[in-house]
Amino acid sequence: MTVKQECSRLNWINLDALEAVDQADDLIAGLKQTPKTLPCRYLYDDRGSALFEKICDLPEYYPTRTEQAILEQNASAIAQMTGSCELIELGSGSSRKTHLLLEAYSQTDQSLSYCPVDVSTGLLRTTALQLLHHYPTLQVCGLAGTYEQALAQLPPATRRRMLIFLGSTLGNLNPQDCDRFLTQVQSALQPGDFFLVGVDLQKDVDLIETAYNDAQGVTAAFNLNALKHLNQQFEGNFRLNQFAHWAFYNPVDHQIEMHLFNLRPQFIFLRTLNFAIELQIGETIRTEISRKFYLPTLISTLERHDLRSLQVWTDPNRWFALLLCQRQA
Ligand code: AVI
């Protein structure tokens, strides 16, 4: 297979998401509030995405391998239940778990098509090319942008669709944003279409906290990289060595919170935004929440958005769940 033949099966749509979003209003609003917060998209420049890929391979970070094992066991059941359909993956990253689904669908589907959506254009391109090389009849339509933008601008459906949202990324949305997101999913799907979602479940707190405080410090580097990203993008002066990574479980909201803990008084200026803040010792900036779900509550939340759970698969420890939902009329 030549590169030219592979490229003829690759379609590319740039959603201009980053430009549109980076009016940075939400960034400024978050840095003004107490406690300070950052939109978690700043964790994912190309370096952040590469660090996240490394996190997925850490011994402490159980979600990736647990979800992968569930998919390994059940990918063909999923393909059989949905039949042939167009696969759209939100926040695809390296699409490592999607290989399992593509493998299963390629057994039954002659016109296999896959739309990965990601903000990291570098990763999206590399992954798309690898997939084309691996699956000789696959059509790929890469959508470079945020999933909100992708859901609003999906190419018209030509057949049944399945939206895929793996890795418990749903947990990175607070309950209001989660509702907004599910409303968008609901409108992007026709009755009969599918939504496949992977979520991390509530469990022993030590296990969760260890997953976000790994011994090699990869999660810490991932967290701090958000500030480097801001420095580069907005000509900022965050001094990374004056912050410490801090991740803990909040039992009230059932979520891990990742913060950057400020070690010295600092004056921060983001030149291109003409925005300044002062940070006191001990002040933190929350960079991410990662909610851990209780299945019955999640199933009814999905139901409220006309997404009926057809089947739920979990691992033997019930640490993680994969739900296949169908959009109701
Ligand atoms: C992408 N997301 C689901 C990961 C999570 O577990 O919330 C991001 C992450 N943050 C720290 N480690 C992994």
What pLDDT, in 10s, does the model give residues 90-149? 987 767 788 899 999 998 877 889 999 987 777 788 888 888 888 888 999 888 888 888
User: In Å, how far are 34, 69, 142, 175, 288 from 277, measured between CA atoms?
Assistant: 12, 45, 38, 28, 20
Q: Which atom of ligand 1 is nearest to the CA of 63?
A: 6
Number of H helices, E strands in the chain: 12, 14
Q: Which atom of ligand 1 is nearest to the CA of 172?
A: 7
Give me ligand 1 centre to Cα 314, in Å: 19
- Predicted pLDDT of residue 310: 98
The fraction of the chain above a pLDDT of 70, given in percent, is: 95
Q: Which atom of ligand 1 is nearest to the CA of 167?
A: 3
Give me ligand 1 centre to Cα 2, in Å: 36
In order, the DSSP letters of 106-128 are: HHH-SS-EEEEEES-HHHHHHHH
Q: Alpha-carbon Rg of the chain, whole angstroms? A: 20
The pLDDT-based confidence of 18 (bands split at 50, 70, 90) is: very low
**Nearest Cα residue to atom 2 of ligand 1:** 169
> Which of 7-11, 163-167, 203-207 is predicted with the least confidence, judged by mean pLDDT?
7-11
Task: Give alpha helix (H) positions in 83-193.
Answer: 98-108, 121-134, 147-152, 175-188
Q: Which atom of ligand 1 is nearest to the CA of 247?
A: 11
The pLDDT-based confidence of 16 (bands split at 50, 70, 90) is: low
Taking CB atoms and a 6 Å cutoff, what residues make up the pocket around ligand 1? 55, 63, 167-169, 171-172, 212, 219, 258, 288, 290
**Nearest Cα residue to atom 9 of ligand 1:** 52
Which of 212, 216, 258 for mutating ligand 1's site (highest number of atoms within 8 Å of CB)?
212
Phi, psi of 16 (to 5 degrees): 55, 30
Which of 42, 49, 55 for mutating ligand 1's site (highest number of atoms within 8 Å of CB)?
55
Q: Which atom of ligand 1 is nearest to the CA of 288?
A: 10
What distance in Å separates the CA atoms of residue 48 and residue 223, rounded to the nearest whole number? 8
- Predicted pLDDT of residue 45: 87
The pLDDT-based confidence of 290 (bands split at 50, 70, 90) is: very high
**Nearest Cα residue to atom 6 of ligand 1:** 290
What pLDDT, in 10s, does the model give residues 20-54? 445 689 999 999 999 999 999 899 888 998 999 99
Which of 41, 52, 256 for mutating ligand 1's site (highest number of atoms within 8 Å of CB)?
52
* Measured CA angle at 154 (ends 311, 168), to 5 deg: 40
Q: Which atom of ligand 1 is nearest to the CA of 256?
A: 7
Amino acid occupying residue 320 = F
Sign (positive/negative) of CA torsion 225, 257, 18, 144? positive
What pLDDT, in 10s, does the model give residues 247-285? 999 999 999 999 999 999 999 999 999 999 999 999 999
Q: Which atom of ligand 1 is nearest to the CA of 56?
A: 13
Give me ligand 1 centre to Cα 37, in Å: 16
pTM (2 decimals)? 0.93
Give me ligand 1 centre to Cα 290, in Å: 7
